[in-house]
Chains A and B, each alone.
Chain A
Amino acid sequence: MSEIIRDKTAIAGIGVSKFGRGLEESQLELGLVAFKEALDDAGLTREDVDGLSIHMGWPLGVDYDRIAEVFGLDIRYVNQSWLHGRFVTNALQHAALAVASGMADCVACITAISFTRLRGFLGGPEDQEGTREEGGTHGEAPAYGLTAPASGAAMAMQRYMAQYGATSEQLGEVAVTFRRHAARNSRAVMRTPMSLSDHQASRMVVDPLRLYDCCLITDGAACVLVTSTERARDINIRPVTIAGMQGIRSGREEFIFSPRGLGLNQQTINPQPARERDLEVYRSAGIDRDDVDGLYTYDAFSPLVLFTLERFGFAGPGEAAAWIQGGRIGLGGELPMNTSGGLLSEAHVAGWNSITEMVRQLRGTAGDTQIRGASVLQWGTAWGDSIILRN
């Protein structure tokens, strides 16, 4: 796969709307702001866009057909996924694959969501996807009062704590670090400093997860334009290329919010260090894990940060809670993570806020959150998919 994908496609433009809670603007209005900003950023026009890869459609977001008709686009390639955060990587990968294969010249990934207007979809009575027979995809069991995605992450963290002796205080390092990053980011919704005691004093939501272990519920939009690297070079001074990628993992050994082998759902109890098969993304990009200057992940719940570190072998099984202590994942640390504040403190734009931050980092335009000399950044999730970007 590496020769088909490696550095063949690039992110040529990024755009974001404002992020906030209870925004008056519709998803279409927010999406338009992000789309226009991305076009301006790339020096492209809407006529150049012939593909759409939509992560979250109606009703949280906007469906591809509505975007195309309202924005007056003429589209020849479409991908759209379920209403789950997990498909952020998938949506970006499909954009790259469509460009690499010639199905599209320029794909817009537009994620425009209003979570605050549609709160009932997040674990509430309108959340149809959580009511799937024999359990929702995050481990929901509505008949038993387990209705929200947070509960699946809590179930995994509780077992992880019992197995390895990890503590809520250790987990607090994630929220505290990302809040520190958000404080440097003017787009971030939550910038008030947070101490570990603030984290420990925050109310329990689903034991063992406290309020500050759960991401923000916000509104906002982000747009990423993917085109060929050749074309991006023509229009951009410094394109950010998609260097490598690997797909989402699934099977009886996989639970969305758990490392392999932890013993959630039908997983065996068999914790093991990351296997070669789970590290394809580095081979795909032709790099070593040590080359990664920063790691970005879908931090819907703080345990996912630990599980991502173990999934990609930065830490061994059960070691991530201790590994992250002492500023290791903060700006200036060994492996800065989610430098704009992530879903926990910047905003919940389904991970696209972090993707746009990665592009700013690789252009050297991240301002107060800049990782000095960033040249290789990894997006990777607790469910095992990943993309490596570089400049």
Chain B
Amino acid sequence: MTETTDTPYAKPLPRITADNAPFFDGLKRGELRLPRCDDCGRFHYPPGPVCPYCFSEAVEWTPTTGHGTVSSWVVVHKAWFPAFEAEIPYNVVQVELDEGPRLTANVIDAAPDELSVGMKVVAVVDTVTPEQYLLRFRRAK
């Protein structure tokens, strides 16, 4: 067994499946892509083989603007996972994208007392390991 000397990334990573791989491929290219239905024109999330609104299978991964609004937020004060302990207290938000779907992630540049429902944010890509990219948000200028 080979062991690397680098400190391993200790936080949980997303599970990549056939359903969500294009999302992470998009992040790798610096894009926030979501499934969009060619028939009814609506974006949706979570991804799957069919549009949940019109039941069409004509679903295409399509870039979004990456712009959205914080629809809710929390600040975590308890270390359920040892790997997050050093960051306490940290935020997790739900963002309603301008295209409609809501995604959960962190806002990287807001202190706990600066968070609010209605805060405008924009997507950024965080390279957490050489192979894994995560979506996060920063405050919109």
Residues of A within 8 A of B (CB): 122-125, 131-135, 139, 141-148, 151, 154-156, 158-159, 162-163, 203-208, 252, 263-266
Contacts and interface: CB of A to CB of B under 8 A. Distances in A.
Interface in B10-62: 11-15, 17, 19-20, 44-47, 52
Nearest to A123: B80
Nearest to A251: B52
Contact of A144 (B82, B101, B105, B112): B105
A134 B47 contact: yes
Given A133-B15, A147-B84, 14 more contacts: A122-B80, A125-B81, A131-B12, A142-B81, A143-B11, A143-B14, A144-B134, A146-B104, A151-B74, A155-B74, A158-B117, A163-B117, A203-B77, A266-B45
Nearest to B52: A252
Contacts, number: 113
A264 B101 CA distance: 10
A204 B20 CA distance: 34
B108 to A, nearest CB: 11
Interface residues of B, number: 41
A111 B116 CA distance: 41
Contacts of B47: 134
Contact of B117 (A139, A162, A203, A266): A162
Interface of B: 11-15, 17, 19-20, 44-47, 52, 71-78, 80-82, 84, 87, 89-90, 92, 94, 96, 101-102, 104-106, 112, 116-118, 134
A206 B106 contact: no
A147 B44 CA distance: 24
28 contacts: A124-B80, A125-B81, A125-B82, A131-B12, A133-B20, A134-B45, A135-B104, A141-B104, A142-B11, A143-B12, A144-B134, A145-B81, A145-B87, A145-B90, A145-B92, A155-B92, A158-B72, A158-B74, A159-B72, A159-B117, A206-B74, A206-B75, A206-B77, A207-B75, A207-B76, A264-B72, A264-B102, A265-B102
Given A131-B12, A139-B104, A141-B104, A205 B92 contact: no
Nearest to A147: B80
Given A134-B46, A135-B46, A146 B74 contact: yes
Given A133-B15, A207-B75, A141 B117 contact: no
A123 B37 CA distance: 35
Given A133-B14, A266-B102, A145 B76 contact: yes
B98 to A, nearest CB: 15
Most buried by B among A134, A156, A263: A134
Contacts of B117: 158-159, 162-163
